[in-house]
């Protein structure tokens, strides 16, 4: 476990991707063979069943460290991570033991179904034989939840480098079905449990934001316009009787979207389609916040399948009949795509992303104003003669996004963040004016630089009025412009409405609290969107 602890420390002390990959490569070069598949399983979220509940672990830690529960809670707020808090508050270990990572993991798995006394004895003994860093790792092993800034993609790149194997093959292999106790690292790399010859995706073609007026693009007839859908960019790969769904992050997400699995039977072999994963209900695209319920889930509830059904809006076709057609012009690819889509028997799930017809740029600008009604983010402009580029290339594809709504608010609460942001006040609650009162309208925690966070943090410390656990009420003085994508009625919020995707657009140091927006302003906006 010492080698693994070292890896975690190395991963945490650098924020450079190359350093992290180097640390992972080093680890896979030197680590115990049996440990390796467990590490890959852990980093990709293949979680074993949790053998001991959080409540029990917390209870034992409090008991062993002989501190009151409230003090443990305060410590937790300062640390921002439960496993780490426990590792730090426990009394120093009295023994040392170096067991292998996979031994700890298999022993922990054996605790499932045992009496609490047996579990307690095991956990306490382990804590007493590990140093602070190792304890932290051990606690993470119990929760099975390692979030240490290693994406699947990064892990895959490291393994690919270490084993000199194509990274898409590794991605397919580790996203497949396997169990860490039953497969060797070599077998995993070789992908003995999957057929990695069929899954590989193409690099996505990406667009730059259009910063000028579209008139600069010349004749309208040279361009194809579509809605810019607000979902997850995806690639459908159907080869050798198998279907794979890749996300923009080059992760395999096939299992997350069972609604699309019919395509395995309906798409011909040798087909690759570029499109957007969206929540689509009765043919209508739903808001991103609804799609969000479906993302990164290991299990999907029935209600989620019903409330947030998945659809796939097809943009483009990259491979047809097993042939790479990315160098064909878009107009030609579109024809092939239309033909292919019309042959599907299941309708309304995989849908052709409609092409907008327009005569002039002014007309398109008018159409664009209606973007929000379709839950789209604006318009995509693609040159009809364009080939399908790898990555971002200026000139052929443009995204012409609509501007977000904004509202000026004042900060009234601040809370310490977690993870990297623990110990700094980084999560803020904002209010607008409602007569003499201030009424909460949004919570947001992104959009500020580290320097600004420090400044706000220092303001909060000096101007805190009241304290509720980790939350401080602060003097309503700092004005922030909040950007948001939509507004909806809400019974759950005191204001009677809720903002969609609120985030800090900028800190309005030039404004004072008297100049912020009112609840009436927002009500008017709401009325105008209905």
Partner 1 sequence: MALISFTNKGIFCKQGGFYVDPWQPVDLAVTTHGHADHVKFGNKAYLCHELTKPVLLQRLGADLPVQTLPYNKEITINGVKLSLFPAGHVIGSAQVRLEYKGEICVISGDYKVEYDGISTPFEPVKCHSFVSESTFGLPIYKWLPQEEVFGKIRNWISDNHDHLKTSVLIAYSLGKAQRLIKNLAGDKNIYVHQSIANLNEGFIRAGVDLPQTIRITPDIKKEDLQKGIVIVPPALADGKWMKSLMSASTGICSGWMQVRAGRRWKSADAGFALSDHADWPGLLSAIKATEAEKVFITHGFVSTFSRYLNETGIAAEEVTTRYGNEEEEEEILKEA
Instruction: Tell me which residues touch partner 1 (CB under 8 A).
Output: 12-15, 65, 67-68, 70-72, 74-75, 78-81, 84-85, 88-89, 92, 136, 418-424, 450, 467
Matching residue, tokens 């300062």:
78
The Cα–Cα gap between 18 and 10 comes to 12
What is 164-183 written as a DSSP string? T--HHHHHHHHHSS--TTT-
Contacts of 230 (CB under 8 A, 6+ apart): 278, 285, 287, 288, 375, 376, 377, 485
The Cα–Cα gap between 474 and 427 comes to 13
**Is 29:185 a contact under the CB 8 Å cutoff?**
no
The Cα–Cα gap between 276 and 288 comes to 12
The Cα–Cα gap between 283 and 290 comes to 15
Of residues 14 and 165, the one with the C-beta less far from partner 1? 14
User: Whole-number minimum distance, CB 245 to partner 1, in Å?
Assistant: 33
Matching residue, tokens 């907008």:
356
User: Whole-number minimum distance, CB 60 to partner 1, in Å?
Assistant: 15
Of residues 72 and 185, the one with the C-beta less far from partner 1? 72
User: Whole-number minimum distance, CB 114 to partner 1, in Å?
Assistant: 30
Beta partners for 271? 238
Of residues 93 and 488, the one with the C-beta less far from partner 1? 93
**Is 57:142 a contact under the CB 8 Å cutoff?**
yes
User: Whole-number minimum distance, CB 140 to partner 1, in Å?
Assistant: 11
The Cα–Cα gap between 263 and 241 comes to 10
Q: Pseudo-torsion of CA 103, 109, 112, 115, nearest 10°?
A: 10
User: Whole-number minimum distance, CB 102 to partner 1, in Å?
Assistant: 24
Tokens of 51: 């053998």
User: Whole-number minimum distance, CB 221 to partner 1, in Å?
Assistant: 51
The Cα–Cα gap between 39 and 185 comes to 10
Of residues 84 and 408, the one with the C-beta less far from partner 1? 84
Collapse the DSSP code of 443 into the 3-class scheme (helix H, G, I; strand E, B; otherwise coil) and give the result. Answer: strand
228 counts as catalytic: yes
User: Whole-number minimum distance, CB 152 to partner 1, in Å?
Assistant: 21
Beta partners for 326? none
Q: How many CA atoms lie within 13 A of 470 on its CB side?
A: 20
Of residues 22 and 387, the one with the C-beta less far from partner 1? 22
Of residues 241 and 419, the one with the C-beta less far from partner 1? 419
Collapse the DSSP code of 440 into the 3-class scheme (helix H, G, I; strand E, B; otherwise coil) and give the result. Answer: strand
The Cα–Cα gap between 14 and 29 comes to 19
Of residues 129 and 423, the one with the C-beta less far from partner 1? 423
Stated as kind and residue range, the H or E segment containing 186 is: helix 185-190
Tokens of 354: 């409609």
The Cα–Cα gap between 140 and 239 comes to 38
Of residues 150 and 171, the one with the C-beta less far from partner 1? 150
User: Whole-number minimum distance, CB 19 to partner 1, in Å?
Assistant: 9
Question: 36, 119, 228, 238: which is the annotated catalytic residue?
Answer: 228
The Cα–Cα gap between 209 and 7 comes to 39
By annotation, the residues acting in catalysis are 228
């Amino acid at each position: 476990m010492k080698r693994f602890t070292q890896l975690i420390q190395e991963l945490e002390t650098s924020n450079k991707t190359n350093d992290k990959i180097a640390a992972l490569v080093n680890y896979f070069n030197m680590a115990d063979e049996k440990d390796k598949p467990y590490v890959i399983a852990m980093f990709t979220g293949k979680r074993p069943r949790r053998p001991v509940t959080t409540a029990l672990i917390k209870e034992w830690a409090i008991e062993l460290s002989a501190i009151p529960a409230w003090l443990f809670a305060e410590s937790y707020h300062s640390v921002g991570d439960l496993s780490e808090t426990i590792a730090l508050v426990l009394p120093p270990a009295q023994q040392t033991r170096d067991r292998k990572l996979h031994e700890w993991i298999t022993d922990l798995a054996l605790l499932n179904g045992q009496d609490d006394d047996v579990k307690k004895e095991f956990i306490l003994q382990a804590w007493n034989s590990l140093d602070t860093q190792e304890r932290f790792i051990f606690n993470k092993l119990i929760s099975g939840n390692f979030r240490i800034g290693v994406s699947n993609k990064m892990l895959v790149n490291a393994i690919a480098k270490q084993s000199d194997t194509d990274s898409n093959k590794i991605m397919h292999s580790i996203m497949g079905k396997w169990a860490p106790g039953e497969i060797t690292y070599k077998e995993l790399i070789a992908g003995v449990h999957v057929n990695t010859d069929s899954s590989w995706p193409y690099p996505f073609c990406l667009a730059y934001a259009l910063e000028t007026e579209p008139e600069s693009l010349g004749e309208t007839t040279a361009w194809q316009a579509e809605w810019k859908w607000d979902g997850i960019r995806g690639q459908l790969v159907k080869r050798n009787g198998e279907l794979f769904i890749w996300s923009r992050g080059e992760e395999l997400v096939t299992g997350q979207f069972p609604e699309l699995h019919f395509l395995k039977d309906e798409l011909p072999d040798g087909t690759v389609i570029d499109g957007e994963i969206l929540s689509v209900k009765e043919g209508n695209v739903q808001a991103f916040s609804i799609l969000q319920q479906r993302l990164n889930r290991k299990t999907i509830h029935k209600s989620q399948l019903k409330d947030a059904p998945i659809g796939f809006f097809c943009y483009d076709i990259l491979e047809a009949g097993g042939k790479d057609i990315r160098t064909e012009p878009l107009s030609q690819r579109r024809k092939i795509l239309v033909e292919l889509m019309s042959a599907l028997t299941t309708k309304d799930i995989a849908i052709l992303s409609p092409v907008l017809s327009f005569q002039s740029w002014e007309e398109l600008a008018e159409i664009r104003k209606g973007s929000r009604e379709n839950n789209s983010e604006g318009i995509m402009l693609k040159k009809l003669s364009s080939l399908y580029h790898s990555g971002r290339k200026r000139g052929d594809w443009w995204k012409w996004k609509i501007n977000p709504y904004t509202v000026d608010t004042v900060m009234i609460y601040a809370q310490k963040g977690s993870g990297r942001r623990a110990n700094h006040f980084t999560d803020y609650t904002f209010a607008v004016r409602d007569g003499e009162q201030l009424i909460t309208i949004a919570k947001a925690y992104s959009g500020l630089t580290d320097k600004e966070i420090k400044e706000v943090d220092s303001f909060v410390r000096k101007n805190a009025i009241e304290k509720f656990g980790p939350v401080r009420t602060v003097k309503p003085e700092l004005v922030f412009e909040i950007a948001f994508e939509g507004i909806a009625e809400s019974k759950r919020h005191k204001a009677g409405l809720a903002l969609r995707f609120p985030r800090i657009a900028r800190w309005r140091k030039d404004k004072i609290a008297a100049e912020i927006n009112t609840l009436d302003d927002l009500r008017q906006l709401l009325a105008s969107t209905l």
